[in-house]
Amino acid sequence: MNRRHLLQAGLVLALSQASGILAVQPAQAADKPHQARIKTLVIVSHPYPERSVMIKGLQQAAERVDGVTVRNLESLYGFDTRAINGSQERDITGQHQRIVFMFPTHWFNITPMMKAYLNEVWGSVGPGLWRGKEMLLVTTAAGGDSTYGKSGRIGVALDEVFTPMQASALHAGMTFLPPLAFQGVSGAQLADYQQQLIARLEN
């Protein structure tokens, strides 16, 4: 190959790399090695994003599953509970068959931004809004058996704390799936939590 051909080949290679043409498909496949069973929307919220370890790690796991759309409320809207675009979020929700709410248990409840999201996106429409869709809760809690369960301080299991979310799902015509609730969370177990989440999204 002469010098002119070498220069031409180098120019094509440089342009391809700059435009992202080369290796796009393999990179995407490597980034999303898992496949969701149905088209899934994951709504993520954490009241203190800068401190988030578990929820951030779980969000990263969800982002590796093909067929999953992740929307982090604080990343999109900050902490402004009045900034949520209800119309846009309803349109996005309508495009998915399963809705996942991912959050840290916040004083035995969902987070303020997630509550505002439900008010704005779900609250203005009547019963049966999401008929036929599925709801899955993914939540974490620092408290363990001393807090949750029949022998714990509050006397109920962590997943039972969110009965109002189950009621919301049923009111909207959804199937409420068994929650994925991690209590007494530990950073050393994050990889296991991520695998459990991926397995639920795939099935």
pLDDT tens for 135-187 read 999 999 999 999 999 999 999 999 999 999 999 999 999 999 999 999 999 99
Give pLDDT, residue 31.
Answer: 83
What does CATH list as the number for 33-202?
3.40.50.360
Give pLDDT, residue 22.
Answer: 33
- For residue 132, is pLDDT > 70? yes
Q: Round to whole Å and give the CA distance between 184 and 140.
A: 8
- Domains of the chain by residue range: 1-31, 33-202
Nearest to 124 by CA among 90, 93, 155: 90
pLDDT band at 11 (very low <50, low <70, confident <90, very high): very low
Q: Round to whole Å and give the CA distance between 200 and 196.
A: 6
Query: What does pTM read for this prediction?
Result: 0.84
How far from chain centre, in Å, is Cα 185? Answer: 18
- For residue 4, is pLDDT > 60? no
